[in-house]
A and B are shown apart, each in its own frame.
Chain A
Amino acid sequence: MKRAKTIALVAGFGFFFLALLVQGILPYLLKPAAGISSREVTRTVRTPLGDLAEVKAEAAPVTDGGEKRGRAIYLREGCWYCHSQYTRPAAGEERRWGPVSEAGEYAHDLPHLFGTRRIGPDLLRVGGKYGDDWHTAHFFDPRAVVPDSVMPRFTWFFRTEGGRQVLNDEGRAVTAYVQSLGMQKGKWRDAFPYQNVRSGSASPEAAKSAERGKQVYSRRCAGCHGEKGDGKGTSPKDVLFTIAQPRDFTSGVFKFRLTPTGSVPLDSDLYRTITAGIRGTAMPPWFNLSEDDRWDVIHYIKTFSPDFSEYPPEAPIVVPQPPKPSPELVARGRRVFDEMKCWECHGREGRGDGPKSDTLEDDFGNRIPPANFTRGIFKSGPRAEDIFRTFMTGLSGTPMPSFADSFASPDDGWALTYYVLSLSADGGDQP
């Protein structure tokens, strides 16, 4: 019997617990700084001056009931067999999905959801990449939005309302959970260089690129913007878009431009918008598409409206180099905000609840609330230049006017910019 006992005790018990100790427990017990139980994360925050800073912060536990429930559904539906939740300092993952994982971010994850297989993309940083409308359309039918997708449909996340699909409680919970992913790192996406490009280099105007662009368009854009470019894709027909409707390109109306109100945008404007996406809305960012694909699809969407060939873009404004923000600048910005009556629409505190806010409609007859600056989610982009550009040229097709002629000096413009940005300053752990 002795042999059998040796095998059972030494090999069976001994080595089992030895490995458990060395590989599982010891790393946990070591000093938090070196070990894996640290709760510290580097977080990008908006400062009271309106710029971005990195701080060290304690990872926050999940308190939101929706997110907790959403995570349970994520486990139940087996999303994690197809989606990992960790990004490695290798293989260009930083460029694809954002900053490399930090131990502290996982401090409250039980069970962990690292994952071992990526049938779909990593989701560690997917929060804020898309607006809720995108997730709604995607859960209902991934192939309507991404025709090549192999992700299952999750039709039981929905109920019907007025002939269209809207998320039910479960669907909202999963969406809340997915949107919370990566948020331990705060506003990292606002500082993500690959998404927030300034503008593209000049585009090759080859004739064949519109042809190629058509293929890109039907594989990536048609589900929302429609094969004919009229904004009537299958997704907005099936699902209720609550934030913004996909643009009808035949109208020739574009919001984000360096050109004056009424003019078509520059190609480089479109390049910037398509690369960054329109935050908070269904419009995705396309920074992972090759540059050629992006240019090609721009040439193609320009063919939907005759405006591009009939009225060439007017001269763009020049956005000077922004100054460093300061408390004085922000205080001055507050005065400009009052004087220029931004509050009539955006509200005194910038919450989008000004006296005029209830009545506004865009050119397509949809209700359009003025931006709530305190949320810190900017359609036009998170950089000072983006905000500056927006009130200088206005957002065509919306009530947001151009204020280009109202400024005595460009400094007033920057003051206003930093004031607007400072409204979304993160409370608590500031430097």
Chain B
Amino acid sequence: MEKDNGLVNKNVVKEWLLWGFFWAVLAPLWGILLSLTFNYPTYLSGEFIHFGRLRPLHVNGVIFGVFSTLFLGLIQYMVPKLTGARMEREAWSRAALWIWNVSLLAGFGGILLGYNKGLEADELPALAASGLVASLLIVTWQVLGAIARRKEEKIYVALWYTIAALVWTDLNMVFGNLVLPHVMPGVSNAALHGLYIHYVVGLWITPGGLAIIYFFLPAAAKAPLYSHKLSLIGFWSLAFFYPFVGIHHYLLSPIPAWTQTIAIVASMMLIIPVWTVVANFFGTLKGGKWGAFQTDFTVKLLIFGAAMYFIGSTQGSVEALRGLQVPTHFTDFVIAHSHATVFGGYVIFVLAACYYVWPRIAGGGFDARLAQWSSWMIMAGISSMIGILIIQGLVQGTALAAGAEFVDTVVAMKPYWFIRTITGITMDIGIALVGINLYLSGRKAAAARGAR
């Protein structure tokens, strides 16, 4: 897998990743700006820039900007390597890239101007979202085409996840944009929206992120995958249970109780894919490969991300239980879960993969000291953020359940929110340093090539 087989269009991958880093610095920055308003509520008071308009930019920015852009870029690298075939219609890669990113820019502009559909994680105006769908369809076509021309009969598990993620998300984006905002008002709309949200995180980010780690962990650690049977269990249990969990966003609501119960059971069952998948990753490093955790930044971040994924997903399963949901839902406890999984897990997976891919496509070694610093900033930032969010969620939730006056509990949150902002800043600087480090190493290599 490691050998350069000349099938990857390096320039396209490079452009995708650069755009990805653009979002990777910007979207968390929006989060920092938002978080600051909890301590300085008036500093963002413009008609087009205030909490209510900026929050969807942060959430969609992380999902569709940071994670998705980097993931789509990495697909362009990973698929030729895995299939032994060039991407189908390679020229379209760049079209997909520009459609994707311009749509995002336009969509975010639209939200700031007030075109907000009113459905969480589905806010992008229909026109912008159509751009995203078009881009996804192109990539799906390219991937399936490459697979059809593949050299080896067997399909590696990373490809399974990639195929499934793309098919699911093509469907889901169409569903979320064309169907959801227009049919079945009221409680049914909430139920469908719960499904949509969890299709985004469960059927796009999760399989996408797992594809990345399944590919890059063995590649970077130079070790074979621990168990293909485990990956089979992991994939099919995820594919079966994940679609059913969406309604756990709206427990104890007027959605019929049996529907809620199915969602809770499915949420608990997700422990199966999570634990098997994580066992597989840690197993891969057994037999003397743990040294790579010290020396290789891809492995370091992937394993750290796997731990976060494990913690965050397990938290997600148990917080679906009604007993824990009562005090913790609606609080920062849930925000802890989303940051642990989406950022701590999947975004870190794709960042880790960049450490692997970038030197191979842009050449040159990056600065190890800087990489060490940035890794630690990211890891320390996200871990302490999750810690603080869990604590504050429990504090506020139990206070409210005990009958405290609402605004008093808001006051109690302010010191925590302040620390949270600092953890966010630490994280974001860490990410920016990763980007700068890689970018400079690429420039240096290009200059060296030019000099020769």
Contacts and interface: CB of A to CB of B under 8 A. Distances in A.
B326 interface: yes
A241 interface: no
Given A89-B252, A116-B334, A12 B164 contact: yes
Contacts of A22: 244, 262
A71 to B, nearest CB: 9
Interface string A162-180: 0000000000000000000
Interface in B167-206: 167-168, 171-172, 175, 180-182, 184-195, 199, 203
B400 interface: yes
Main secondary structure of the interface of A (DSSP, over half): loop
Contacts of A79: 52
A91 B52 contact: no
Given A19-B195, A36-B256, A152-B37, A84 B330 contact: yes
Contact of A103 (B159, B187, B334): B187
A11 B147 CA distance: 17
B250 A23 contact: no
Given A101-B254, A143-B41, A150-B410, A108 B186 contact: yes
Contacts of B190: 106, 112, 114
B259 to A, nearest CB: 5
B331 interface: yes
A116 B330 contact: yes
Nearest to B119: A111
Contacts of A103: 186-187, 254
Contacts of A101: 253-254
Interface string A73-92: 00111111110101011111
A7 B115 CA distance: 36
Interface in B253-283: 253-256, 259, 262-263
A119 to B, nearest CB: 8
A27 B256 contact: yes
B186 A148 contact: no
B252 A20 contact: no
B168 A16 contact: yes
B254 A102 contact: yes
B401 A92 contact: yes
A121 B51 CA distance: 16
B41 A23 contact: no
B160 interface: yes
A116 B154 CA distance: 43
A364 interface: no
27 contacts: A7-B163, A8-B144, A10-B239, A11-B239, A19-B195, A19-B246, A37-B184, A37-B188, A75-B118, A76-B114, A78-B116, A79-B52, A81-B52, A86-B253, A88-B252, A90-B252, A95-B403, A108-B186, A114-B250, A116-B249, A116-B334, A118-B331, A148-B407, A150-B410, A152-B45, A155-B47, A156-B47
Given A149-B41, A152-B44, A156-B47, 12 more contacts: A11-B239, A12-B163, A19-B244, A78-B52, A81-B55, A91-B326, A102-B254, A111-B189, A111-B193, A150-B410, A155-B45, A288-B406
Interface of A: 1, 3-4, 7-8, 10-13, 15-16, 18-20, 22-24, 27-28, 30, 34-37, 75-82, 84, 86, 88-92, 95-96, 101-103, 106-121, 142-143, 146, 148-153, 155-156, 288-290, 293
